[in-house]
Amino acid sequence: MAILKHIASKNADYGESERYLIFQHDEYTQKPVLDENGHMIIREEYYLDGVNCDPFTFAVECQETNAYFHKNQSFNEIKSHHYIISFDPKDRDEHGLSGEQAQKLGVEYARENFPGHQALVCTHTDGHNGSGNIHVHIVINSVRKYDTEPQPYMEFDRDSKAGYKHHLSDRYRIYLKQKVMDMCRSNGLNQVDLLNPAEKKISEKEYWAKRRGQKNLDEHNAELKKKGLTPRQTTFQTEKQYLRDAIDAVASQATSQEEFSRLLSDRYNITFKVSRGRYSYLHPNRQKYITGRNLGTLYEENHLLQVFQENSNRQHAKKSHSTDRPVTDFSEQSKSSASVQTDETTYSFLFIKSDLRLVTDLLHCIKAQQSQAYAQKVKLSNLKMMAQTVAYVQEHGFQSKEDLDTALSNASAQSTDTRNTLKSTEDALKI
């Protein structure tokens, strides 16, 4: 599945784009990788072409075009547009996609969809995180050098005139995505629908937050292993992914919007709200809500209401089916297995992941990541809270959350009886 990304740049140094495409760069810092002599290292495999320019004089030619039309002279102007077509990693093995073929497709795409612009087209075969996905970079000067024929996606006459700037409208964006889909399908490559919203929307910002978080977590876990400790968490989870996982778990059980909201709050400390038909979720460590639209279509009202209805229908079907079956007395069987069950569940609560929010999650607490002093304070507070909880549970012999619920119900009943007795006594004294 090929995807299309777009980046607008105000950087007046066009040579920086050339250097990025030709030389190796650190994928986290975006800085050049240097050898022992301090020189930049050429990428192991890349393919470079120019459209309406020479690829090795792209920077100079763009500056000449800007000067000729008196454009891109101020800091706040967008100097270039960077498009990235990333092909599915499976295309390499399943469909024989090569760097040469991808470069040819990229040049044709640039000529057809960015007419009149000076463009630098470069294909890399080394995807992020060693994924090996082939991707094509297309960097165009924001100022059009030549007049072109009017196209269906153009909104104004100037969009086809030389000396005017690249205008990426919504119509144009849809057109570009459709062209990527057509290109992949005509060449037998994997492709998904780019025009409809994704079921699980992962933005560029979240993608890199996940990468950086996983890198930091791996380093932290490596230190723990050196000390002979077993890491509690091996996979980093962004705030949005925490919401997605929680919603997926709760939505599979909830039969109504009210139950959905209650389960999110009780189990994951997530606040849920509906505003003008839009679902929004508040992460425990945030002050600002995240809309379902930013998480994906699976987390919006239309889909979730349908899921609630399906769960409700399934629950009613089970109830109606159970009423037709004879009732069996399992009391003797329960008594015979009680001792075995007690032995198996003794202290099992210590090893079960609790849904109760008893401690602060340091790995996802932004304030703790920013302040070591606060993190240390939270660690001590967490240890104290866990010790108090374990002591209380052991003292009262609770084996599970159901035992706690039972104890709470009994305490509530006793409290009600006591209040009734007290009221009766007060009434008797008044007589």
pLDDT of 322 higher than 90: no
Q: What is the C-alpha separation between 396 and 346, in angstroms, rounded? A: 13
Give the integer Cα–Cα distance in Å for 305 and 290: 19
**Averaged over 207-218, what is the pLDDT?**
87
pLDDT value at position 342? 41
Under 8 Å between Cβ of 140 and 80: yes
**Residue 125 · residue 134 · CB < 8 Å:** yes
Give tens-digit pLDDT for 173-201: 999 999 999 999 999 998 877 888 888 88
Q: What does DSSP assign to residue 193?
A: -
pLDDT at 242: 94
- The confidence score (pLDDT) of residue 363 equals 64
Write out the E strands in 25-118. 46-51, 80-86
- Secondary structure string (H, E, C) spanning 69-84: HCCCCCCCCCCEEEEE
The predicted pLDDT at position 410 comes to 84
Which has the higher per-residue pLDDT, 212 or 241? Answer: 241
Buried-exposed string 401-414: b where 16+ CB fall within 10 A, e elsewhere: eeeeeeeeeeeeee
Alpha-carbon dihedral sign for residues 158, 162, 167, 168:
positive
Residue-level pLDDT at 352 = 37
Average pLDDT score over the chain: 86
Helix (H, G, I), strand (E, B) or coil at 189: coil
Q: Does the pLDDT at position 362 exceed 70?
A: no
CA-closest candidate to residue 302, choices 177, 192, 206, 197: 197
Q: Tell me, what's the pLDDT at 328? A: 52
Choice among 152-156, 217-221, 381-385 with the minimum mean pLDDT? 381-385
Contact status, residue 78 vs residue 3, Cβ threshold 8 Å: no
Range of weakest confidence among 86-90, 119-123, 334-338: 334-338
Residue 340 confidence (pLDDT) above 90: no
Q: What is the side-by-side strand order in the sheet with 119-124?
A: 3-9, 80-86, 135-141, 119-124, 46-51
How far is the C-alpha of 352 from the C-alpha of 98, rounded, in Å? Answer: 49
Element (H, E) at 119: strand 119-124
Give whole-number Cα distances, 343 to 340, 346, 347, 399, in Å: 5, 5, 9, 10
Give residue 156's pLDDT: 94
Question: Is-contact 113 39, C-beta < 8 A?
Answer: no
Q: Are strands 46-51 and 119-124 parallel, antiparallel or unpaired?
A: antiparallel
Q: What is the pTM of this model?
A: 0.64
pLDDT at 113: 96
**Taking the domains of the chain in order of start, what are their residue ranges?**
3-186, 204-324, 358-418
Does 3-186 carry CATH code 3.10.105.10? no
Task: Find out whether 40 and 33 touch, Cβ atoms under 8 Å.
Answer: yes
